[in-house]
Amino acid sequence: MAKDGGQTNRVALARLAGVQKRYGDTVALNGLDLEVRAGELLAVLGPNGAGKTTAIALMLGLQIPDAGEVTLFGRSPHDLAARRNVGVMMQEVALPDALTVRDLIGQTSAYYPAPLSLAETIALAGIEKIAVRPYIKLSGGQKRQAQFALAVCGRPRLLFLDEPTTGLDINARETMWAAVRGLVAGGASVVLTTHYIEEAEALADRVVVMAKGREVAQGTVREMRGLVSRKRIDCATSLTLAKVQAWNEVSAASLGENGQLSITTADAEAVVRKLLSADPGLKDLEVRRAGLSEAFAELTQEPVAQEPAE
């Protein structure tokens, strides 16, 4: 398991200790220990069924563990004072369709003791163009932007973001990323679940990888990369993709839009020798340590979604 880059002394705002949770015969969490520390952005990654959603639901008090302890700001997740320090953006949201975004922000802000002003919330979320529109008239991506505004309007100390940028175009995604970075810089803590590994790589102070209801690794992005032996090879070659994919040393291979071949392997030296032997005209050869995406795949033995091309 990786170390946490010197963050162990930070205060835990939310904690799961030895938590177990079953749904019938299915084990969702199996003795999970997880904590969210003050002033960090924690990315929780894992394949479908790893237990990410259940872990978040327990921290929010939406479910009760079968065993173990759950605390939120040192209290029960059902404690009203604790909950008023939390902002939440979930994947499935039901909101009054007829209300405008401004009205929704106003209603949500009333729940918190010291919320941002309406103008501050709109500016932070970058939703000036949609603030006066009824929620029902928004596109899917615009609804995600409005939901983000509702999550941050209460000036939360702890913010849960569940797949926040799904459906956003590149400009809206970058606006949300900038807002999240600003919140963390201002002292807030963020828990991010995402299928886009590049998002975690760009934002996270610490990454926790889950599989089968347990933590399999944690650490900074750099430390997570260092946990795995895989490397990435890029080159321009006349060899076919099918030929390279058939090599035993190759874990994965793909062609980019420019025709560049990208290879993931645990034995870079052997693959490079094969490439040079099979294609004397090989060009633009580059070998580097695999990124967080490859680390995730090796740690969980699962494929992972990539950031969509723009």
Whether the pTM exceeds 0.85: the reply is no
> Where in the chain are the domains?
12-225, 229-289
Superfamily of domain 12-225: P-loop containing nucleotide triphosphate hydrolases (3.40.50.300)
The hierarchical CATH code for the domain 229-289 is: 3.30.70.100
Task: Please give the mean pLDDT across all residues of the chain.
Answer: 88
Tokens of 257: 């839009």
- pLDDT of 2 reads 45
Statement: residue 9 has pLDDT above 60: no
- pLDDT tens-digit readout, 136-151: 999 999 999 999 999 9
pLDDT tens track for 34-89: 999 999 999 998 888 889 989 999 999 999 999 999 999 999 999 999 999 999 99
pLDDT of residue 298: 65
